[in-house]
A and B are shown apart, each in its own frame.
Chain A
Amino acid sequence: MTQIALAAVTVLALSAPAGAEDWQATLDAARGQTVYWNAWGGDDRTNAFISWVGQETERRHGVRVAQVKLSDTAEAVTRVVSEKAAGQDSGGAVDMIWINGPNFLAMKEQGLLHGPFVADLPNARYLDLTPGSANTLDFTVPVDGLESPWRLARFVFNHDTARVDVPPATMAAFVDWAAVNPGRFTHPAPSNFMGATFLKQALIELVPDPAALQAPVSDASYAAATAPLWDWYEALRPNLWRGGTVFPENQSVLQQLLNDGEIDMAMSFDPASTAAAIAQGLLPDTVRVFVPEGGSIGNVSFVAIPYNAANRDGALVVANFLLDPATQAHMQNIEVLGSFSVLDPSRLDEAGRAAFAALPTAPALPTLEALGPTLLEPHASWMTRLTDDWARRYTR
């Protein structure tokens, strides 16, 4: 028995020299743990994928996953904060969070995250972690190894071709389209990240000096950068759905509106979601994806581990499993989740590449070329400023 264990350790040590013993220690400690993964629960396919992840990690490593379905990721952040407030610095209720942008920034600033841990994950070798790459910046905030990537997000629009022949080619063109088709388009409330991304997508196209967006916002830069945006929005808003007085809560509700025929165009942060929704019977099969001419915003979805997580080792095992090439290929499968992989194709081995090449395709699934260039997220401070300003202007 000891010899087999020793042999296993040796093999592991050979395949991943750095920290293999540490990793084995993590695997041992993780066995039998249940990881409470706090993730937004509004998408059934994501929920099913998370449940699949749990079955696989339990089978392979004896680590179970219980998804805590959030209606807003901030709920998990609040929970960790309340725990810290109560002095509960270990044994916390939240083991892992699907996190992004402002929530990550808030937790990082408050010192509520475990890590850095990403470089210690064996499967991190498939990631492009060179400084400045998409995996190392979350809304321009340095990741610093405090969160691990798991899926790629790209902002896209979709439209029902049965009702809309030619969708707007630029953000500016949305104003003209809405004037001709009043009440047939809207965006989620900017308090939701999808609605905020819609404003940011427009901001990037309309801003006089795009470079300003990569630096933290200042009063002067904000006023200059957003003046054209608000002019554009003032022209657009009266022709939005419900006259721009009511906004759907998130992109799922927006998709439901498109399915109900209340609007003709919607948006998503996942280029594959349209094809997936059609396969699920959740959208008419005439819906197609489009992006504005200059490209669209893209970012990476991460998982983070709170500093007081009760099942930290289990969470590390799950984070590592998410980066396994086979897992990522399964995730990119349009019949499963259809989210684009975060792995760097050039770092994959033969088997990994084959897994991705074998994936099925669908009519509503755009090619990577059709999506055009990826635009960088503005600094997180812009989003806060933008959504606050929107709330101040339009909450009546």
Chain B
Amino acid sequence: MDDNLTRFLADLERFGAEACAAFTAAAGAAEVEQLRIKYLGQKHGQIEQFDTFFKSLPPAGKKAIGKRFNEVKQAVKQAHESAKQQPAAAGLAEAAARPSTGFDFSLPGVRPRLGRKHPLTQTAEELVDIFGRFGFTVADGPEVEDERHNFEALNIPPAHPARDPIENFYLGDQTLLRSQTSTVQIRVMERQPPPVRVVAIGRVYRPDAIDATHSCMFHQIEGLYVDRGVTLADLKTVLRLFAASYLGRDVHIRFRPSFFPFTEPSVEVDMSWDVRGGQWVELGGAGMVDPNVFRAVGYDPEVYSGFAFGLGIERMCMRRHGINDIRLFYENDVRFLDQF
């Protein structure tokens, strides 16, 4: 190692030791700041000359002393950071020395244990609350259903692939776990004459392979609106008002044609708060109630029309809270539950 480098290293060590000692001994913010200017200042700090020298070195020289150069620089900066914290610490020590008369508000409060509603419940309640404002009453139906309510009355004939036993959880020849909350539509319309404006919320079951986005059991919210003169425009309006209320911002709704046996026309519903950017987010499935569904419950499709929609609670909850795995909902680790 040549002399220049040896001398540089010795100076560097001396600089480091002196600066660190000075920062440690400093009392008060003003002195720390003076020392910072002296040692670390951008323009005339002593560190500057070392930097300039270092930059002028050929690569071999840089390699020889680079590691130590950075270590010393880091140590001085560290000493400066510690010194900056010092005044606060000194203040605390001063406070500690004072005789205490008042309440120590720096102590954590004594918190009564607080439970949380499950995130799915919170999402479901929020949805029901919003639809409640639009005049939708909550309706209910059983989870174990017969084929009439899960299929036949919903215009799903025996040959339809959705009726394949492999696609459903059958309990016997005649009963199965409902595969959608649309069953409740039928139960409500069997019970009461139009007009109808209900939402049904609850567990549904499909034998999907379980992964981060699929579960064999999940939750749906289903809406049904039947009256004279109900059109696709009412559906679009209600869903826009819903999405805007849920997100707390103006949104637009887009319909993509789709197929569900119990609605015609059927659509997939997208929403966007940035139509110009072309960003559309899938909201759920919907459509106008199929005339065969009306006939199955004794409503006259020439007199009444209506719409239905279905949204997945898990999917909405996951998107809202940034949850990345549907299985977390049913695992119930309290460290998960307590986050919501």
Partners in one complex: no
